Amino acid sequence: MIQDHTIDQTLIELARTMKALKALRDVRRSAAIEMSDGDSNWQDDRPFAASATRASMDLTRKLADLRQGR
C-alpha cells in the first residue's frame, strides 16, 4: 500500500521538476529571441538544464518508491 508520505514527497518533486523545466524553457525561448543570426548557442542555459536534470532524477526516484508501495 502506498504511504501518504510517499505521495506527498512525490508531489513535491513533481512541482520542483515542473518549475525547473519551465525555467529552462523560458531561458531557451528568451535566448532564441535575442539571437538575430539564428545560431543556437545554449551555453547560458547550462545551470537551468542541470537543475532540470537533477529534479527529473529525484522525481524518478520518488516514482519508483510509489511503484514499490513504499
3-state secondary structure of 3: coil
Per-residue pLDDT, averaged over 39-55, amounts to: 83
- H helix intervals, the chain: 4-34, 46-68
The pLDDT score that the predictor gives to residue 44 is: 77
Residue pLDDT, tens place only, 4-44: 999 999 999 999 999 999 999 999 888 776 665 555 555 67
H or E element in which residue 35 lies:
none
The full DSSP string for 44-60 is GGHHHHHHHHHHHHHHH
Tell me if the pTM is above 0.85. Answer: no
Q: Are 41 and 35 in contact (CB under 8 A)?
A: yes
Q: Which grid coordinates are listed for 49?
A: 538544464
For 28, the domain range is: 4-34+43-68
Question: Looking at the 3D structure of the chain, how many domains does it have?
Answer: 1
